[in-house]
Structure 1
Amino acid sequence: MLQKSILEKKIKRVTLFGNPVKQSLSPLIHQYFSKETGVLYQYTLCLCTEENFFLKISNFFKNGGIGANITVPFKKKIFSVPHIINKFSRISKTVNTLIKCSNNKIIGDNTDGLGLLYDLKNLFIFKKNTTVLLLGAGGAATSVIYHLLMENCLIYISNRTLMKSKILIKQFKKFGKIFIFEEYKCSQIFDIIINATSSGLYGSYPIFPLSVLHHDIFCYDISYNKNGNLTPFLKLCKNYGVKNFSDGLGMLVAQAAYSFFAWFKIMPNIQSTIMFIRSLNEKLL
């Protein structure tokens, strides 16, 4: 028992905090990272509520946790916690990665935007000056806007709450061209629609005008299904004739890799991990 206790202390611990979390593929991804890189660590899931979120985060780091990921709906809520805020989190006011320093200070960072750009470029459907319809104005959308604007994208925000859209416009307009999508005033033909809402986690899809769908558009959902099936958003797009689409599994793996690098200063192989997780999903189908 003593030997086991000593071994457990040596294993570094990382946790994903969010609600829901049971659908997450992150533990499988990090198991693969650990095997590939030789870094010994344990990656677990922690279901939180609004009431116990901060307490669980605090207890985790007090009890030896070295890093964490934050997912919906807490990416904005956690922003006030870290002692040090890195550039992407400072700009977006969202955090998806926490890193504990040797002096016990907590660094907040966000790897979502890097993950999204990696996947869009990996899919060969992304270029500078792309016209994007971004669905949602929550933490996920906020996390990726800056990176899209840095690629000179023209972004239109579509969200059910107009005030949230206006807040995002005010927050990011100094970085590039970003506007509120108004169906009857917008004549843009979009290159990409990105679903950055959490609707897929609850078996539904976001409300948006189907008139924006066309033969050459690319539909991207930052969500994914654990069994590899199409998300409700992608299923809807496919039913309306869209030929080119992808879920967010590649983004998930890429942002996880950038988080891993923040914790351990080693970059895992993103592409081989994507292929591994996709192969697991195919076996489930």
Structure 2
Amino acid sequence: MNRDNFPTELKRLREERNLSQEDMATLLANSHRVFDGVNQVTISKWERGDTKTSLLRRLGISSYLSIQYEYDAKELDTLSPSIKLSDIPVNQDISYSYSIDSVDCYTTKSIPSESWNDILAIHSKLYSLDFMTFYNADHLSVDDIVILVFYCKGLMVGHILYDDRTNMLLSIGSISLSIRKQVLQYMAESITKKSFIIPVHDPAMAQFLYDLYLEPKRSMFGLFLFTVEPQLLATNPFYQNLSENGDQSFKYFRYYSQKSKKKSIEFLL
């Protein structure tokens, strides 16, 4: 999909998925704020080429449909400032491919000290913040912390920490983006919590969650706290495709655009 073939590709991909113009408009509008107000007439005009879509919406639709978008030189220039925002540790990957084959559950008293130190180190590297400082500021008890450690052939490859009493998610770590996807999938499918309070470190991710119609509860230490239902979030096509293909372009371009207008998440709280 690109700027020139967008009308024909949109129609082809929509019909390939057996969606009417009204169906697609409803799905887009209900899934992300960028498409608020989009209706059947809008989709029809896009497909006929009567109305030009913005780069942001073209990226959003390619993300929604999990289709790679091909940029021209002008679009790359427009996008380049936002791409720089995505250069953070949590978006980096390594070359090896791993699969989780076992999960162990610990408390702060039962976890081996070496594993605990590894978790503290990787969290600090990913987020530049000690989650225990954040945790203690809310006067919560370490006795309520549940620690899930994920392994591949005996090697620790990921973790989840949460407070079992308040459902506060404290930390998610992984050695690769593929493992992160598996950890998040485990969280959505295997942890019997209807909702979690999630502190979000990356403002672009916080903007993304807000755009999925989640409301931030408060901010703390520069973090944005959302109440999230993992199973509901996992069914949102924008979140699904972000997790599956790891393409951050739409998320960061949306955040950059909103921040430039002083309408991003920082200006809402």
TM-score normalised per structure 2: 0.27
Q: More helix per residue: 1 or 2?
A: 2
| Structure with more contact order per residue of length (Cα contacts < 8 Å, sep ≥ 6) | 2
TM-score of the pair, normalised by structure 1: 0.26
Structure of greater Rg: 2
